[in-house]
Chain A
Amino acid sequence: MNTAVELVDASKTFGAVQAVKNVSLEVAAGEIVAILGPNGAGKTTAISLMLGLRSPDKGSARVFGRDPRTPQARDRIGVMLQDSDVPATLRVREVIDLVARYYPSPLPVKRALEMAGLEDKADSMASSLSGGQKKRLCFALSVVGNPDVLFLDEPTAALDVEARRGFWEQVSAFSKSGKTIVLTTHYLEEADALAQRIIVINRGEIVAQGSPAQIKARVGGKLVRFKSHTLTLAMLEGIPGIVRKSLVSDTFELFTLEPERVLRAIFERDLELSDLEVRGGGLEEAFVELTTSRA
């Protein structure tokens, strides 16, 4: 396997907070990997280590086998940071043209404008762009160097649903040319739409990784919660579709991908319960589950 990006046992601490703990990961050339986690999980720190914006306290980061701080590594990476802004008094075309000149084999500016859907904004001042357009400009900057690896840190965090889908199409189009993409997100849907592999991190540690289907099976489900005085966990054995179940005093929590089927089975058995609620698979919650279930 030709490795594009790797972290080897990397750790990073800020004051008392250990943002990244002993993280090792490899991204193969041509692979699209999503780093998924709730806010504050350490995603941005992990990507900062890969980019060489931060250096690990322990362990190492490599891009195509090189220190990411070397010019040879930087020639091959494109980046979209979370809060990138651009000089307010430059035009869109001017900013893209400037950045293109940093790279050894850039795309034509026109091509980058097309890829980001900014053709009609090319002569606008950067300061006049809307939030979504600024994100698209940052995307144009990240691809104009024709990089081998594209890093996208929470690329759609501030976008509405429609803009988000449009952005996914742009990224997918770029990835078709065999590029490696590493993105961070806290939307499972986004990771699922773009990535071939998802790495879930929480509290600075990798808590799960696998294909989108595998990860969805673990974190994409629903939580069915109810109270019952008569029921026992044993009585729920044999109900299909329950991934995990727990009982704390009289409150049952069932984690499932198919809540309708589980509920039907419970009602068919005429089990006595109250305070029923079904909650969406909040990632935050699912991550806590993943973390504790590992411990």
Chain B
Amino acid sequence: MTTATLNDSPRAVSPLSILFSQTRAELTAVLRSPGAVIPTLLFPIMFWLFFGLPNAKETSSSGFNVGTYILGSFAMYSMIQTVLFNLAINISSERATGWYRYQRTTPLRVWVMFGAKLLSTLSLALLALVILLVVGSVTGGVNLPALSWLSLVARVLLGVLPFAALAVFIGYVARGPNVASPIINLIFFPMAFASGLFIPLSGLPKIVQDIAPFLPAYHGGMLARVAVGVPSASSEWVHVACLLGFTALFLILAVRAYKRDEGANYR
């Protein structure tokens, strides 16, 4: 770039302020779509009421409250589900539209566009999470110190990172929401099950227990349960490292899928 004079630069536009506006617009748009909001907010509570609550009042052989254990797992499950479905479907449906094409002609930066999608999805996911935690603690009698709740939220935010990258990848591979949605269902439910988010791994076959450490949701679930006081045999840092590794791997896939889409439609 030469240093040619910019004869009219009346005010610099702060990318952060655009990021804020863009995030607000994305969030407003999704909150007005009942088809996206209702399942997002209801599914985690339904799962809790059907599968978590019936066992919540028990105490495990090692002495901790089973309800606490389940709520830790379900917090991770809820977060992954919201981010995976909402982000992937948002991207896969939007990139075929004139709006996506139009935005590329504006000064809006690509990273701001993605950042806003991520932030708005995370906001929605946090809303679903808070509802789940409130319902869970009230109905299941799960009482934790405030710091543990905060620690749980922070850990599931870390645990969902690989899935945010995976959602971008799926959003760019799938042609439209009708393809993205079944793909995610196929991946998500078996994976959540095999990661020990629905049933503790100790109750699953040996082969599943052996596979679990190779799944990102396993590490997220482990971290989430540590936050609520479930003892972990391995160091937490192993789980953190694995999550970051999966994030990097999925990011590479996502960037490649994005570039291929760019090459097909914008070169």
On A, residues with C-beta under 8 Å from B are 51-55, 65, 70-72, 74-75, 77, 79, 81-90, 94-95, 97-99, 101-105, 138, 141, 145, 151
Q: Are B11 and A84 in contact (CB under 8 A)?
A: no
Chain A interface, >50% SS class? loop
Partner of B6, one of A72, A83, A84, A102: A72
Cα separation A243 to B1 with both chains bound (whole Å): 51
For this complex, 27 residue pairs linking A to B, each with C-beta atoms less than 8 Å apart, are A53-B104, A53-B105, A55-B267, A65-B4, A71-B109, A74-B105, A74-B106, A75-B107, A79-B105, A79-B106, A83-B98, A85-B97, A85-B98, A85-B99, A86-B99, A88-B29, A89-B33, A90-B32, A101-B13, A101-B17, A101-B21, A102-B13, A103-B13, A104-B12, A105-B10, A141-B102, A145-B107
Give the nearest-CB partner of A141 in chain B: B102
How many B residues face the partner with a CB closer than 8 A? 32
- Cα A77 to Cα B108 with chains together (Å): 12
A90 to B102, CA, bound (A): 16
B265 CB → nearest A CB, Å: 9
Q: Contact at B101–A81, with CB atoms within 8 Å?
A: yes
A53 to B103, CA, bound (A): 10
Contact B25 A87 (CB under 8 A): yes
Per the bound structure, the CA–CA distance linking A124 and B105 in Å amounts to: 25
Interface Cβ pair total, 8 Å cutoff: 84
Residues of the B chain whose Cβ atoms lie less than 8 Å from the Cβ of A71? 107, 109
Residues of B within 8 A of A105 (CB): 8, 10-11
Chain A: minimal CB distance from B92 (Å): 15
B73 at the interface (CB under 8 A from A): no
B22 adjacent to chain A (CB < 8 Å): yes
Expressed in whole angstroms, the minimum distance between the Cβ of B267 and any Cβ of chain A is: 6
Are A79 and B102 also in contact (CB < 8 A) when A54-B267, A104-B13 are? yes
Q: How many Å from the CB of A67 to the closest CB on chain B?
A: 9
